[in-house]
Chain A
Amino acid sequence: MNETVVLKDLQINAGDNILVNKTSIVIEEGEIFGLVGESGSGKTLTAKAIINLLPKGLSYSADEIITAGKNMLTSSAEEKKEHIGKNIGYIPQNTVFYLHPMIKIKNQIGDGYVYHMHKTKKEALEKAESLLYKVGFKYPKIVLNYYPWQLSGGMRQRCNIAMALMNDPKLIIADEPTTALDSTVQRQVMDLFRTINEEMKLSILLISHNLGLVKHYSHSLAVMYAGQIVESGYTNTVFSNPKHPYTKLLIEIIPSFKIKKDERLAEIPGIAAENGRDIKGCVFFKRCPKAMDICKEMVAEHIDDKHDHYYRCNLE
């Protein structure tokens, strides 16, 4: 089996505070993997750990981090930098300052390509043009001559996607790619991701707090809560048979057109805790409608090998 990403037992700390704990993910080649969770659940940090992009104040450790075939834990800084530059594309959540506001698109979209692939600027611009066309721009040449602030949010996002594709990466990490966009553009961008995934056979790590989005577009997913993965598996499996109370609640609260007129939208009361994520018991204990006393002390881990379905819960 060809795995694009293997992450085992990741832990991220900020000083004494544990932010992400015991997190393991496997992303297969050519699959779209959804990472779901509330704000603050640790999804972005997990993704950044995979590509060595964690901010300086944080420390991390893991049993294994294999990204696009290379072992991140045993590689030198230089090797990591080169490997990631060549094989990973990163599309951030916030589009406003990701592209440098003082530099024209044409002068920043291709520099990674020139550097890693040893191409000329002219070749880079040609490729950029074709990619911009692919992501939906009718007149790529004009876009190249623009500054980022001359484009709308959706356009900038598409530029980011094109830029991420320049080196024919094996993995794309899309962090909340649609949150800052309006709904019609969201649809366009997500369809674009699907097309890229199918045509170019590259893996996508799709991070989102929108379970509806993940349901529709991902092959596998993992649900994170308070820095831990509480459930993961094939999307179909998890949705047809959710095991963890948190997952069940999330599925319930997906708004749909079928809501009756005055019915309240469901919500999960409380907020995720920032501290105390390293407790032995279940992290969801305080908010879980099905919590039992034993959940304070320990949490059972279940792995259903047949369907690759994993969850951490004391319920069956």
Chain B
Amino acid sequence: MLSYILDRLKSSIVVLFVVSVITFFVLMIIPGNPAQLILGTDATPEAIQELHAAMGLDRPLYQQYLSWLLDLFTLDMGSSYVYGESVTALIARSIPVTFSISIFAMVMSVFIAFLFGIISAIKKNSIADYFSRSIMQLGAAIPSFWIGMVFIVYFGIKLRILPVSGFVPIEQSFAGFIKSILLPSVVLAIGEVGTLLRIIRSSMLDSLKQDYMDMARVKGLSTGKTYIKYALRGALTAPLTIIGMQFAKLAGGTVVVETIFALPGLGRMVLTAVEHRDIVLLQGLVMFITSTVIIITLIVDISVMYLNPRIKSFQQGEL
């Protein structure tokens, strides 16, 4: 168990390192002189040169990389060209938004996927089964922005019950908060629920085929007990892994939804950074988001291993 943790930790660190290299060097290729971008088009060449040197942009690339990397450890990601603020502060401001909708979306997705996934497996090939599976295929194919727009028009404008845009922080008003994240989260959940449902269904089907289901049947246990205690327990490993992966993916993939609903989250900030070629901001954002993904994946993997008692060490003796 411990060796597994260390192993995963080790490879995560390596991946983080590779990610940092890719992030830094790829973005350095962006054409354009940052100093010039900051000072604008009517700055003098000398001023540009001065700022260039002051920003440390004339050092060899690897040096710039190392100092950037070192700064990361002190959570200093530099200053954004576009906003003029520290990247760290900008990220900190945007985290609550992105995480709120991601978490809420996952909760909804998990609930629906388990509900329909289990029913689908138990009543395999029934109408309910085909219905669930069609919904899941559809959900994966609907572009989030499309359904987002539809929701906005319907719920925001026609029915006027939910806000069309903007984020209400939870400190300001709980009801407002929920209202502002409801639609975006639903849109995100629609994209994820299908995959999860399929995995749950598939795992349940496998679990139902196992011998211990015979045992539960012969013992004549109540339906609930049979399915939940025995069938579901044996079907959890894969879904949990997927949930972790999905959550990680959501953390990094909320751009479109945030754009449509005008939510000031991480994704929207990435878009702005890309549009303005704000390298520093982009490097910080990408590094942060990807690191979060890697760390979440790591935690999920370790938890799944922990929950699966077969991996724990063997003990056997005179019984």
* Chains A and B in contact, CB within 8 Å: yes
Chain B CB within 8 A of A7 CB: no
- B residues within 8 A CB of A96? 211
**Total contacting residues, chain A, CB less than 8 A:** 37
Q: Which residues of chain B from 210 to 225 have a CB within 8 Å of any chain A CB? A: 210-212, 214-215, 217-222, 225
A82–B222 Cα distance when bound, in Å, is: 9
**Total contacting residues, chain B, CB less than 8 A:** 25
Cβ B319 vs Cβ A138 within 8 A:
yes
A72–B250 Cα distance when bound, in Å, is: 54
Chain B CB within 8 A of A155 CB: yes
A138–B317 Cα distance when bound, in Å, is: 11
**Partner of A92 from B214, B221, B230, B317 at Cβ < 8 Å:** B214
Closest to B218 in A: A90
User: Which B residues form the contact surface with A (CB < 8 A)?
Assistant: 210-212, 214-215, 217-222, 225, 229-230, 233-234, 308-310, 314-319
Chain B CB within 8 A of A254 CB: no
**Partner of A51 from B218, B221, B225, B308 at Cβ < 8 Å:** B218
**Partner of B218 from A53, A108, A115 at Cβ < 8 Å:** A53
Chain B CB within 8 A of A271 CB: no
User: Which A residues form the contact surface with B (CB < 8 A)?
Assistant: 51, 53, 81-86, 88, 90, 92, 94, 96-103, 108, 111-112, 115-116, 137-139, 142-143, 147, 149-152, 155, 163
Cβ B214 vs Cβ A53 within 8 A:
yes
Cβ B211 vs Cβ A112 within 8 A:
no
**Partner of A115 from B220, B314, B317, B318 at Cβ < 8 Å:** B220
- A residues within 8 A CB of B218? 51, 53, 84-85, 88, 90
**Sampled A-B contacts (30; CB under 8 Å):** A53-B217, A81-B220, A83-B220, A86-B220, A92-B211, A92-B214, A92-B215, A96-B211, A97-B210, A98-B211, A99-B212, A99-B215, A100-B230, A100-B234, A101-B212, A101-B234, A101-B309, A102-B308, A103-B229, A111-B229, A112-B220, A112-B221, A116-B220, A138-B319, A139-B318, A142-B317, A147-B309, A149-B310, A150-B314, A150-B315
A97–B214 Cα distance when bound, in Å, is: 10
**Partner of B219 from A94, A101, A112, A150 at Cβ < 8 Å:** A112
Cβ B234 vs Cβ A85 within 8 A:
no
- A residues within 8 A CB of B310? 101-102, 147, 149
From known contacts A100-B233, A138-B319, A139-B319, infer whether A85 and B220 are also in contact, taking CB-CB under 8 Å: yes
A310–B211 Cα distance when bound, in Å, is: 35
Cβ A142 vs Cβ B319 within 8 A:
yes
Q: Which of A85, A100, A138, A155 has the largest count of B CB atoms less than 10 A from its CB?
A: A100
- A residues within 8 A CB of B233? 100, 102-103
From known contacts A115-B225, A150-B316, infer whether A102 and B234 are also in contact, taking CB-CB under 8 Å: yes
A36–B230 Cα distance when bound, in Å, is: 32
- A residues within 8 A CB of B309? 101-102, 147
- B residues within 8 A CB of A149? 310
Closest to A100 in B: B212
Lowest 4 CB-CB distances: which A-B pairs, in order?
Answer: A85-B220, A112-B219, A97-B211, A81-B220
Cβ A97 vs Cβ B212 within 8 A:
yes
How close is B228's CB to chain A, nearest CB, in angstroms? Answer: 12
Cβ A155 vs Cβ B319 within 8 A:
yes
A147–B315 Cα distance when bound, in Å, is: 10
